[in-house]
Structure 1
């Protein structure tokens, strides 16, 4: 989240708006714990959380992939360049992540829950090849993104030194497509032995496991590659891209609702095709959003504020804040209006604490990082 500051000093309102939409959808989805939602509302909350997380992954891949691509094209690509890219990336994300990780560990321990295997979280390995544990479950998307970049960085270094006479544009394209292909093959292997017919288990076993999900962020990196090289034609066809993305979503919805493709009769669709197609559909919205603007300065300020605190919201909102509220306030017998007030209080606490984390921890550390890590040079 908040990756775009690394891409350009210019802000794109459309991408910021998409980020705000994503964080709103995730917050809405997790209110299902408050309302114990079933029926249509429950399905809407599930879909909302699903799309919200996918939006964050796509935004990150598009923006950070553009930075990686530009860096790769500049002169000889050395290990120092690769480590510089990763240090820029990880020193922005890890301090706040580690702080909240430690807070979560204290909370879980205080309530008597196990924190076994917490060391994996410090290495971003908690869901590398297996489902994420019950501890800090919303952190699954962070390793999906970062491991994709890490693999790409070291493969780019290797191929650029093995194939020194090959065009760097070709090498970048080959590495990204190659990684996507590897993940695709892993999904085929998973599908060949999986007998799972439950969507919730599917969400844990494939949707949130790094080796099966890196393709999503890499599809966005690939889209960013084409944007960097074919910006004018893509922007001139932005409405066509938007229409194609909407049609692809309609097709995916039809597969589920009209053609009745389920895990028990079409595992191949869910395990292999569904998630990459969702990623592609979301990518197709990007050219249109890059050209989107707002005439209202007030709206821009609100959107900008939410974007600033979005990473802190991601880290705090569920395992820290909602977990504690639900354990200290019994909402079992609350009326719908009492639940609405509780939800409003939850959102206010989330925004307040996320603002504190951003302004008094994340922002100062980012300022130190910018000043001392030569982030603007090679």
Structure 2
């Protein structure tokens, strides 16, 4: 089976699904790998590195798709940019598909006749999601860092968000220091840039994202409250030994009102929980304006976003280059669906390392149940009940 790695075309997406090291591993196992020209450039991987690892370089997406059987990519097919037009019925697409978030994307996938296997739906015997967790850790780390960054550098001006002097240098230090930050080690100028000293931060969801965010916020001096429904997970979080951190099963209005920053990090494999409604957000914002970071935005989001004109605007997203938006209640709102792309090289290496063995299994035709369960659409049929429910479409049971 020929494995193709396309260049990502989603706006501001700098990651690549497979690094040269992973390509070398695949080539040594007998697989033929084709990489689109400049696919790894934004992650710092040159075409020459891929060629040295044993890959063939395709000059464009059309040739990449026409010569490949298994397409391994990071983000969902970009229908608005015509990416779906390259897909053939015999293709297997392996990537973060997030079909629940878009009916248009789902219909395009059905219409292609191809098979789509979703990174985010691969689950092991313990119910863990090994291909989602590396990006969740990065997103959680960035959420904690952004809570401090926007608290210190952003301010509302009329109906927009403006940044204070020095924010570009602070952002550069954030990216440069990310590897240490991922280990919850923040010091020097970066600690000053991101300081949350004595600020109250509320994190909804104590999974991988929430834990990573909590570790960073703790390192930045915040007082923490983690809202986590699962009793076993609450006990785990309490055992982390994070000072000035409470772990609770639910949030009351007083908890939210006192927060300077709120992070949404809940996700149930189908759709993000709406943890705060519009009225509660309005009431809490009247007491203190907040930095609100909705990590789960690609699955519907944890918070309602009411834009500066007073319109409910779930489709309104920021980018890694311009993440912050002003909401109607005066808050700084961050809704970015591909947060890990801010650190593309680090994220690409983490993702590639996690997926390479699954790529080998798919390419060799190995029958693995976790791969079968992660197959959401095939031959024009929806096989994933969550996707069917999200759009009110029929679901065909896999045979």
Compute the TM-score of the two structures, normalised by the length of structure 2. Answer: 0.26
Identify the structure with the greater strand proportion: 2
Higher relative contact order (CA 8 A, sep 6+): 1
Compute the TM-score of the two structures, normalised by the length of structure 1. Answer: 0.27
Identify the structure with the greater helix proportion: 1
